[in-house]
Amino acid sequence: MKKFSLWVIVLALSSCTVQKINSQLKKSEVFSQGHMGFMLQDPGKEKTLVEINADKYFIPASNTKIFTFYTSYSILGDGLVNGLNYLERGDSLIFWGTGDPSLLHPDLKNDRAIEFLKASNKNLYLLDNFNQVSAFGPGWSWDWYPYYYAAERSSFPIFGNIVRFKKDAGEQIFSVYPNRFKSDLESIPQFGSYPFSFSRKENSNRFPYFLSEQAKENAFEVDIPFITSAELTEKLLEEASGKPITLIQSSKYLLEEPKKLLSAPADSIYAQMMKISDNFLAEQLLLLVSDQLNNSISTADAIEYAKENLLKDLPDEPIWVDGSGLSARNMFTPRSIIALLGKIREEVPLEKIKAYFPAGGESGTIRNWYKADEGQPPYIYAKTGSLSMTTALSGYLLTKSGKILHFSCLLNNYQIPTNDLRTELQKVLYFIHDRY
């Protein structure tokens, strides 16, 4: 009888906590100023605790990367990705891109393909398959071209398709990576009140910049996309390998079954894509998925395969057009994101989830938010999302009682500062962590 009474008390307390969570969300003066979708699930009890517009479609921004991650992990695994496709014909080596973003990337630092080309004793031919990939995704804004978050997509990325301008504190001169773009810099007068500025002209790889005397004392790191092309890639590969390379146009080779050169670990790509919400890596991962499936690269093909073969069991069909979430044409429901988080938990070890997802108060895009109590480990592992009038956070919440809850919060059409929304959500999520 005592055990039964204790169970009733625990159930009543749990019910009271859920009511308070609902009240915090529904009566919030902050959340009432736009459209909110929220869902909280206790997978251990197979129970939905909170549902607010969970069946409605919202623009997810970078929560799209959760779909990209799951698709990539399902198809590519956590081993080495395919760095390039190649055929050997007599004294010729014909090779082409797979979308692998790691080649000479300033952070991933992979040179496997370059070493492969250096070691070859054959004549090298780069097969142009650049027309398989559009530089920008559907619905992307045209004026994003000089910003890192919209680096161009391509079949054969090199250097991350960006130029990195970097200076350590106390140094007088900044470095340019790759160095070959140093001659394309154009010094300009100071613009506005910024101590330094780097940009790119819209239709050329010319980089206007300004650096004040004040900025010369400080450290900085700025990444600016360059305009990609098959011709430029051929030159960059020649310079990096020290070998002559001929660009060729012949689609017949694309119909053959190529050999594949394994390059960078997918693990490192997933972690950087998820933690800092790297759009370029997300876009290129879907191209790698397509290459793995059918030896051709197409974002649309990768998404279509995922919807038909990996995501058919979601409550609502994803409206999904790019890998990064830059497009406002993407639309998902909170309950579909919750279902996907459940699939990830079933198929990806928890330690890997913690290694890939940003950790509250500790790493990635939420290192300054959702901090745990002093001396305690993170209680939030979740993917952020941010576009104009869109804020999102979806992932895993660890409670003080030892439960792992799944949550998804999608906020659209808010005119108030994003930090107001995050502050309000932080209060709710900590309450859940503390009380449930």
73 pLDDT exceeds 50? yes
Residue 179 has pLDDT above 80, yes or no: yes
User: pLDDT grade, residue 82 (50/70/90)?
Assistant: very high
pLDDT at position 11: 43
User: Does residue 317 have a pLDDT over 90?
Assistant: yes
Rounded CA separation 406/64 (Å): 16
CA distance linking residue 162 with residue 175, whole number of Å:
14
Burial class (CB in 10 A: 0-12, 13-18, 19+), 98: buried
Name residue, tokens 């698709």: 71
Confidence of residue 1 (pLDDT cuts 50, 70, 90): very low
Task: Copy the structure tokens of residue 296.
Answer: 């051709």
Q: What is the pLDDT of residue 333?
A: 98
Show the beta-strand stretches assigned E in 23-74.
Answer: 35-42, 47-52
Share of the chain above pLDDT 70, in %: 97
Confidence label for 114 from pLDDT (cuts 50, 70 and 90): very high
> Do residues 63 and 325 lie in contact, with contact meaning Cβ atoms separated by under 8 Å?
yes
User: Is pLDDT above 70 for 3?
Assistant: no
CA distances from 102 to 119, 152, 265, 273, 397 (A): 19, 14, 9, 12, 31
The tokens describing 51, both together, are 């549902």
What per-residue confidence (pLDDT) applies to 13?
Answer: 46
Averaged pLDDT, 297-310: 98
On the question of pLDDT at 140 being above 50, the answer is yes
Note if the bond before 178 is cis, omega within 30 degrees. yes
- Angstrom distance (rounded) from CA 291 to CA 282: 15
Q: Which of 104, 58, 61, 101 is nearest to 82 (CA)?
A: 101
pLDDT value of position 10: 41
Instruction: Tell the burial category of 34 from Cβ atoms under 10 Å away from its Cβ (0-12, 13-18, 19+).
Output: middle
At 217, is the pLDDT very low, low, confident or very high (cuts 50, 70, 90)?
A: confident
d(CA 16, CA 21): 9
The answer to which of 49-63, 119-133, 165-179, 345-359 has the lowest mean pLDDT is 165-179
Residues of the chain above pLDDT 90, percent: 92
Q: How many CB atoms lie within 10 A of CB 312?
A: 9
pLDDT at 213: 83
Share the mean pLDDT of the chain: 95
- Which amino acid is located at 161 in the chain? N
Q: Where are the alpha helices (DSSP H) in 276-381?
A: 279-294, 299-309, 334-347, 350-356
pLDDT at residue 86, as a whole number: 98
Q: Which residues pair with 390 in a beta bridge?
A: 387, 412
Model confidence pLDDT, tens digit, residues 37-62: 999 999 999 999 999 999 999 999 99
Give the alpha-carbon dihedral of 299, 305, 308, 310, to 10 degrees. -100
Which residues make beta-bridge pairs with 97? 84
Question: What is the mean pLDDT of the segment spanning 291-317?
Answer: 97
Which pLDDT does position 15 carry in this prediction?
79
Contact 197, 210 (CB under 8 A): yes
Task: Choose among 385, 161, 379, 181: nearest CA to 284.
Answer: 161
Q: What pLDDT shows up at residue 170? A: 80
Mean pLDDT of 26-44: 97
> What is the chain's Cα-based Rg?
24
Helix extents (H) in 82-186: 112-119
* Helical segments of 161-298, H only: 230-241, 266-275, 279-294
CATH number, domain 16-72+288-435: 3.40.710.10
Q: Are 408 and 56 in contact (CB under 8 A)?
A: no
Cα four-point dihedral sign 191, 197, 201, 205? positive
Q: List the domain boundaries for the chain.
A: 16-72+288-435, 158-227
- Show Cβ contacts of residue 133 under 8 Å, excluding neighbours closer than 6 positions: 99, 153, 154, 155, 287, 297, 298, 299
pLDDT for res 52: 98
Tell which phi-psi region holds residue 393, choosing left (phi > 0), alpha (psi between -120 and 50) or beta: beta
- Residue 226, pLDDT score: 98
Digit-coded pLDDT (tens) for 329-380: 999 999 999 999 999 999 999 999 999 999 999 999 999 999 999 999 999 9
Residue that wins the pLDDT comparison between 214 and 199: 199
Q: What is the separation, in whole angstroms, between the first and last Cα of the chain?
A: 25
Cα–Cα distance, 24 to 150 (Å, whole number): 36
Chain centroid to CA 401 = 32
